[in-house]
Each structure stands twice: as structure tokens, then as C-alpha cells.
């Protein structure tokens, strides 16, 4: 039976092959972009990267199921499930903005146990497994120890798929900007969560994310000593949900502040 570390290593190999493909592939011209929704794009590059990942996962872990936005967006819970985003930050990729990643989470019987987020442009591999810690390449990582909100750097994501929530979101931003060192929105939720795990962000929140956006990142943050819930404080898994993550102290402070 495959261990949590075995699953992590398989995900690392699959992500590395997809990342190498993405680095070597020219960006598609604007006429080749397909709109999935407002400001939400997909191209043949996403789909080819998915095919590479699926091939590795099915070969090295036969019997596991693979889900993702293009691979099959319905989440399942029994047995081994790989939750995949082959290109998190597609808009960044299409514009040459260097914040996009391959994200692969491993779920066993409904519980997230291993995760890999491969920063494509920097060729940095953020990886972890529950009970075994988290790393960037070969360096162990931990969430930030910061407890002073005024010194904190907070990551976020805009509700660009649901403009009806923009006023709610802007109210949250207004409450936070004057109480922290700053807010950042790089445009890849997977990398945002990896940066929380590595201590670059003290906390992160977003109103709506999909399972493939967050599965690997949840593992990394928890394996690095952090906390991940929804905006009601409920522990979350690979699901469609709001997200609030951070070191335990800053995550609690962020939750309270977001609630106003």
C-alpha cells in the first residue's frame, strides 16, 4: 500500500513533468484562448499538461481517480483521489506574469494527505505530507511565527467569478488595509497557500475557491504547522468553499477581522 510519502513523491514526479512542459511551451496567442467564465481562460496548454499529469498518476498509482476542472470536475471521496490543477494562474501564464503553478493533492478516503505545488517559472517544488512536514525543494518550511497584525503581510484573491460579492470583498479589504503591512494578490491560489506554508504570507483569504485550487495548499499549510478553515471557522477539505489560512494566531485574527 502506498504511504503518504509515496503519494507525495508520485505527485512530485507528475508535477515536474507538467512544469517542464509548461516552461518549454510558447504562450498561445489571444485568439486561441477559450473563456470558461468572466476573466477565466483555458487553452490547449492546460489540457496537454493535464494529460501529462494523468499519465504519470495512472501509471504509478493504478486504481486512483483523477479530478480537476478539465479532467472531470465532480469530486469523489472513496479510495485514492488525485485533485489536480495543471496550471493554476492561467491568466498569469498567458500574459507572461511569473506566478503560476502545477498543483496536485492526494486524498485518501476523503482526507487530504499529500500535496505538491510546483512553481513553474522559479522551478521551486513546495511539497508536504500530513504527519511528515513540508518543504520547498530540500529545505523544511514552517508557517510564520508572526503575531503582530500591523507587521503582517496578507495574501488574497479577488472574487472575479462572482461580481455580486465585490462589495462584500471590498469591505473586507477596507477593514484590513490599515491594520496590516499590506495585502497582495498574485493571482494563483495554489502559490498563495504555498507561501503561507513557507512563511512569506502570514495569512491568506479568498471568498470562493474550487477543490483543485486548494487541495495541495491545504496539505502544505497544515503540514507546516498552520491552520486552514472557511470564513465560518470550519475545517475544510477539497471542496468549493471560502478559505482562510495562516499561522494559528494570524488565522484566528484574520477570521475575526473579516467578520467585522
Q: What is the CATH number of the domain that holds 28?
A: 3.30.540.10
Assess whether 23 and 68 both reside in one domain.
Answer: yes
Taking alpha carbons only, the member of 180, 191, 193, 184 closest to residue 226 is 193
Assess whether 71 and 176 both reside in one domain.
Answer: no
- What total of structural domains would you count in the chain? 2
pTM for the predicted model, two decimal places: 0.94
Taking alpha carbons only, the member of 225, 151, 148, 155 closest to residue 193 is 155
Q: Which domain holds residue 97?
A: 4-140
Residue with cell string 500500500: 1
Assess whether 175 and 233 both reside in one domain.
Answer: yes
Last residue of a domain, one of 140, 175, 204: 140
Query: Could you give the C-alpha distances from 246 to 23, 92, 188, 204, in angstroms and in order?
Result: 30, 24, 16, 6
> What pLDDT tens digit does each residue of the chain (260 aa) get?
899 999 999 999 999 999 999 999 888 777 666 655 555 556 888 899 999 999 999 999 999 999 987 666 567 778 999 999 999 999 999 999 999 999 999 999 999 999 999 999 999 999 999 999 999 999 999 999 999 999 999 999 999 888 889 999 999 999 999 999 999 999 999 999 999 999 999 999 999 999 999 999 999 999 999 999 999 999 999 999 999 999 999 999 999 999 87
Amino acid at each position: 500500500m502506498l504511504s503518504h510519502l509515496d503519494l507525495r513523491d508520485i505527485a512530485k514526479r507528475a508535477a515536474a513533468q507538467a512544469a517542464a512542459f509548461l516552461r518549454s511551451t510558447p504562450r498561445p496567442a489571444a485568439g486561441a484562448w477559450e473563456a470558461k467564465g468572466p476573466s477565466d481562460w483555458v487553452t490547449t496548454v492546460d489540457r496537454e499538461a493535464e494529460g501529462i499529469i494523468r499519465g504519470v498518476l495512472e501509471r504509478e498509482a493504478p486504481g486512483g481517480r483523477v479530478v480537476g476542472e478539465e479532467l472531470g470536475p465532480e469530486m469523489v471521496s472513496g479510495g485514492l483521489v488525485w485533485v489536480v490543477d495543471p496550471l493554476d494562474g492561467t491568466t498569469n501564464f498567458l500574459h507572461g506574469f511569473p506566478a503560476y503553478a502545477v498543483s496536485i493533492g492526494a486524498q485518501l478516503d476523503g482526507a487530504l494527505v499529500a500535496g505538491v505545488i510546483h512553481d513553474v517559472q522559479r522551478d521551486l517544488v513546495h511539497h508536504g505530507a500530513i504527519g511528515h512536514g513540508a518543504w520547498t525543494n530540500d529545505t523544511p518550511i514552517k508557517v510564520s511565527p508572526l503575531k503582530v497584525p500591523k507587521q503582517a503581510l496578507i495574501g488574497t484573491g479577488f472574487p472575479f467569478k462572482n461580481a455580486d460579492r465585490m462589495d462584500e470583498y471590498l469591505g473586507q479589504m477596507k477593514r484590513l488595509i490599515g491594520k496590516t503591512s499590506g495585502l497582495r494578490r498574485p493571482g494563483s491560489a495554489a502559490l498563495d497557500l504555498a507561501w503561507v506554508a513557507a512563511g512569506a504570507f502570514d495569512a491568506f483569504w479568498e471568498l470562493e475557491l474550487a477543490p483543485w485550487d486548494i487541495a495541495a495548499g491545504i496539505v502544505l499549510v497544515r503540514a507546516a504547522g498552520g491552520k486552514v478553515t472557511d470564513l465560518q471557522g470550519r475545517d475544510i477539505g477539497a471542496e468549493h468553499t471560502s478559505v482562510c489560512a495562516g499561522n494559528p494566531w494570524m488565522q484566528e485574527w484574520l477570521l475575526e477581522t473579516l467578520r467585522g
